[in-house]
Structure 1
């Protein structure tokens, strides 16, 4: 793997810390009491008014006049324009359809922040000048950093015809975010981008920081390992379904093996079982190896059985249970009490349970209260649609992920503060009144977390706000509220972020890369915060490089791992914080670094049990003697318990089938609605 040095690969410490020169001339920041803003006390409150007034166009529907004024602004006020020799890559605004540059300084004579910018597009140059001239010499650095960019929404409304293009709306927000980033660099002394990252080009991978190096190590696997795997899979007629969160070594080999053995699939948990059925039905696979935690193999087994493929064998990667803190939270006595509360609390109740739970959880839940499974990508629509179909006469109980539950509540609260029109964009049958009613009848379990996503807390979010203000922000729906709000804010402002499942995150990244390819600029850098498990990087790299190669693009895509400095620790570190179930330190692939609970490593220790050695061991046993009793130890859990004379598999599959109906028809099944109403009358 090439690890060339250059502007994208600077000397970095263990967590990828890079130091850049900041400001033009000699930037000065005085740590003294803030001066009175030149704009007066009402300056911040009336920002959108000031900006729109600066355009001097009375009729905001006159597109021609607005465009003319923006072009005029771009060619006036030279004091706010960066000269050509200062148009460096470090001052570029990422993600714009045209090239834009921003820089700033704090001048000694007034201790206020001043901006200059430039663009090779006349309209972007005008937007750049509009912001620079209205902020320069008006605020101290602290005051500027305290401004919420929501004022730009009012500006975009005022410039509606001009900003009808999503590229222009995004560009306006990106320019302002880059201004914030530059000011923070001044305040922090020039240290920025403290997280490790991996830069992807159409032909190269450039890791920056030890953590990124460890992630990149296996993205170009040993061909002999790939050949051995393909031979064994063909010999045993075995398909493989694996989760995005697999160790990079395993994913690298699996991805390379797909070229010679198509019955390998890497995805989020929702699709794994469906692809296993396809492998059995269309590929003639007699065995399926599941690389994931236990509820995933259970789901594959139950789905195959439901589709009539009982004779297809399913194997896990360890004789011991491969746990999940979230799934285990739902098997607790406390969760059963939560379900009992749901069953007796109201007349009409629906339990929406995360798909990432065991068949036992789903079966027990269905026996107590009508239950439908959900994913991180469809949970909001599931809740909105079910409430709509029951005419608002429904109480929704979500579980077990406390962060996702809190984030759903946050979204509903934000919707209540919008308009009926905005609500209907989310769901056509809802308005503010119905959302308020739903919010009053929404409950969520507050004691379940994903070990990995719990690490994306306030410290990580604060660092992103300060040092990565102009990056695209992605976040899984399971992350804590601080990270969730950050990505939600980005998604609402210029389409610069996404919240959802791993697939939603991958699709968002690929969409932005496709847009950048269309820009056809000589050079372009996109930066994404990967707000989920770092094992996903393999799928991101493969998909992004394929997109860049097909387009012959020079775009560079930087994937940032939001890992605290304390996440990269020595394997022999004294007093290391204990991980659950005795996993004190999870060794990294290189350098002896590991992951601490305090710093977060964005890496799931349970998923890492699914090693390449474990997969090859199972395959070797299948090759030697597929009737070897030891293989039964690798089968998914076989629950002996039953509910009302039916197995856990039979009852636990019902909530999954309800979700499949919703996915296909965009409505709750008649059986589910009837079950809710029937139990409500009991």
Structure 2
């Protein structure tokens, strides 16, 4: 931490000259000889700080006078020495350059100084640092942003960006003070610049080593794909080694796409339309099933589809939707009187979608469109009861989001959905049901322990979180989102958020270093690196760096089901070392980390491998890592040869049973097509709305005659 070159006495004298000169105002008390003899709450300390004086003075002024006073404070500010205006003291992501430094005086009290190249921002910085300097660290760390509301410097007075800068300055100050009083945890990270990568920590080194792939493998892949007209669709969560080769090959063969699960099927259809004879799907089994079904629906039954393993490539979330408890959940929905709609996450099998739609009118959703799907459904169908599943964490996060939304003004709610008000949001809450026994192993471990570490050590960073993370991480990311420093959504949303922040940095005339916590699967790093470096190179900016932080540790965790049948990266086949209770770095029992909702257990995997960690979060999906380059080359080499007959086990699962005279594939595809219709029109398709009402009427007739 940088310490100002000016003596402490000189800094205090300078601060005193900037304080409001109010008749009868209470002056800040002098520090006693020993901080240990002072015991006070944060509230009491703030009342005795200059914050009270600033609030009284600024609160008595109108908007114009208030801004003039802040500018006057800026002009009288001592600021910071030029030697202190270094990158280590920068407040990240502000629209102006802002610097902040913190230190402890001999009495153990916090002393802050800040400066900015914007005069208005400098004045706001001065108000904040003068208000908080002199507090004990414990009191300082309890200060909430709401304490500054009486100043009247919110977005209705200053521009929203400056109001956000003020909140970010407080969060940065909190982080700087924490570093003075304790040693903060440090997660592995990858520092990205236009032409270089700097990994910090073993986990980051493991991710970075494949970002520059072997040229021979790239050449070989491009050759076989182009010769045989094979397209490749892969999920963001692929192993970095696989993604590195695919990304490089995509520059020479256009029919390679890395995306989230929704876009994979769409891109496969486009590849078929442009002449591809086969599609290789690198993902879990429900993804290849969806690709097969959507190709069939689009009239491309002659285009072959292949998975990347002979064994099943499972998914803990998809398996939860295949359980008896999920069937009982849907049967409950089907038996209730009144209109009902089942919104099912796209990360489920065709069989799940087909059986669900047979019981309850069903539409699929993604993490990117689920909020609008639910809001539109309640707005479009009076007295609707909605059943969401199978992701328990996403369901709880939705409930939390809608509960918070109910406290917004009608104007703010209308911006999110024009048909809703406070009254309609409150009315829909009791009619929103969420399944309680399903979770994705990738996001399960972003729970309370990792969230506390992220909040403490990276509270001033940009925070990204997938919609499937547990509620603690969701809440933290939503709070960061309010300060324009966070995003909650799909993998595509996360990538777009990072790109937006890089774009903003590129447009500024000064150097910048952004720090981003990656609250989802580590496999996204390949796409992030390519996007960030592409933007920096195009802009010709060598003075901007983006640090991606992995909230994980190097130890791996895999599921017991996978380890029994698969050789996981980094360790021998079938290895299960220890029990989950031994994973706690303090030697305690990690408890809830051991079991996913629905009962699927999580066990430690091969040491040094990729996977989840009880110390951090979830590093890597063990199911996705079953998609290897070796398997991709095997499929491609055999396709179009007599050896193609050996690829039968690599085809997506074929369902032979019928549901009401329709195949599983056809019936399971219908909820997906309903989602396609919703995406085009922003309304539930007419056929789905009619189905909801007809089934409700049928239940009512049956009840009347029984």
Give the TM-score of the pair, scaled to structure 2: 0.86
Q: Secondary structure of 1:429's partner?
A: coil
User: Partners of 2:42 and 2:386 in 1: how far apart?
Assistant: 51
Alignment of 1:559-574 (within 5 A): 559-564=548-553, 574=577
Show the counterpart of 1:178. Answer: 172
| Cα distance between partner residues in 2 of 1:231 and 1:579 | 45
Q: Which has the higher contact order (CA 8 A, sep 6+)?
A: 1
Distance in 1 separating the partners of 2:331 and 2:656? 23
Q: State the shift of 1:361 in Å.
A: 0.4
Separation in structure 1 between the aligned mates of residue 605 and residue 59 of structure 2, nearest angstrom: 60
* Alignment deviations for residues 581-622 of structure 1 (CA, whole Å, 9 cap, x no partner): 99965568xxx4444552344210000000111101111111
What is the alpha-carbon distance in structure 2 between the residues aligned to residue 397 and residue 412 of structure 1? Answer: 15
Q: Report whether the alignment pairs 1:246 with 2:238.
A: yes
Q: Unpaired runs of 5+ in structure 2?
A: 9-30, 559-569, 581-593, 699-706
Output the TM-score relative to the length of structure 1.
0.89
CA distance in 2: counterparts of 1:390 and 1:38, whole angstroms: 49
What's the offset of the Cα at 1:47? 10
Structure 2 CA distance for partners of 1:254 and 1:566, relative to 1, 3 Å: closer
2:704 counterpart residue number:
none
Matched, 1:513 2:511: no
CA drift of 1:33 comes to: 7.8
Cα offset, 1:114, TM superposition: 2.2
1:316 corresponds to 2:307: yes
Per the TM alignment, residue 145 of structure 1 is displaced from its structure 2 partner at its CA by 1.6
The 8 Å contact of residues 23 and 103 in structure 1, kept in 2 or not, is answered as yes
Structure 2 counterparts to residues 334-345 of structure 1, below 5 A: 334-345=325-336
* Secondary structure of 2:514 counterpart: strand
Q: How does 1:203-282 map to 2 (within 5 A)?
A: 203-282=195-274
Kept in 2: contact 1:455–1:602 (CA 8 A): no
Distance, in Å, in 2 between the alignment partners of 1:33 and 1:672 is 69
1:125 corresponds to? 122
In 2, the alpha carbon distance for the partners of 1:34 and 1:639 equals: 73
Structure 1, unmatched stretches of 5+, are 1-20
Q: Counterpart of 1:649?
A: 665
**For the pair shown, which has the larger CA radius of gyration, 1 or 2?**
2
Contact 1:200–1:206, Cα closer than 8 Å, also in 2: yes
Whether 1:603 and 2:594 are equivalent positions in the alignment is no
Conservation of the 8 A alpha-carbon contact between 2:91 and 2:169? yes
TM-fit CA distance, 1:339: 0.2
Q: Please give the per-residue CA displacement for 1:616-640, whole angstroms capped at 9, x wherever unaligned.
A: 11111115336x3221110000011
Counterparts of 1:316-395 in structure 2, within 5 Å, are: 316-391=307-382, 393-395=383-385
1:12 aligned residue: none
Question: Are 2:289 and 1:298 aligned?
Answer: yes
The structure 2 residue matched to 1:616, chosen from 633, 636, 642, is: 633
SS in 1 for 2:652: coil
Q: Distance in 2 between matches of 1:436 and 1:156?
A: 30
Change beyond 3 A, Cα 1:108–1:377: same
Q: Is the 8 A contact 1:211 1:568 kept in 2?
A: no
Q: Distance in 1 between matches of 2:534 and 2:177?
A: 36
Answer yes or no: is the 8 Å Cα contact 2:363–2:674 preserved in 1.
yes
Partner residue of 1:410 out of 396, 400, 403: 400
Decide whether the 8 Å contact of 1:534 with 1:602 is kept in 2: yes
Query: Any idea what SS the aligned residue of 2:191 has?
Result: strand
Out of 63, 86, 94, the position equivalent to 1:88 is 86
CA deviation map 1:115-136 (0-9, x unaligned): 1112222222112111101111
1:162 to 155, 158, 164: 158
* Displacement after TM superposition at 1:147 (Å): 2.6
Q: How many residues align?
A: 642
Of residues 105, 108, 112 in structure 1, which corresponds to 2:109? 112
CA distance in 2, matches of 1:658, 1:559: 37
1:280-322 deviation digits (Å, cap 9, x = unpaired): 002x000000000000000000000000000000000001110
SS at match of 1:192: coil
* Structure-2 separation of matches of 1:30 and 1:265: 63
1:542 aligns with 2:530: yes
Counterpart pick for 1:59 among 43, 54, 62: 62
- Matched with 2:138 is 142
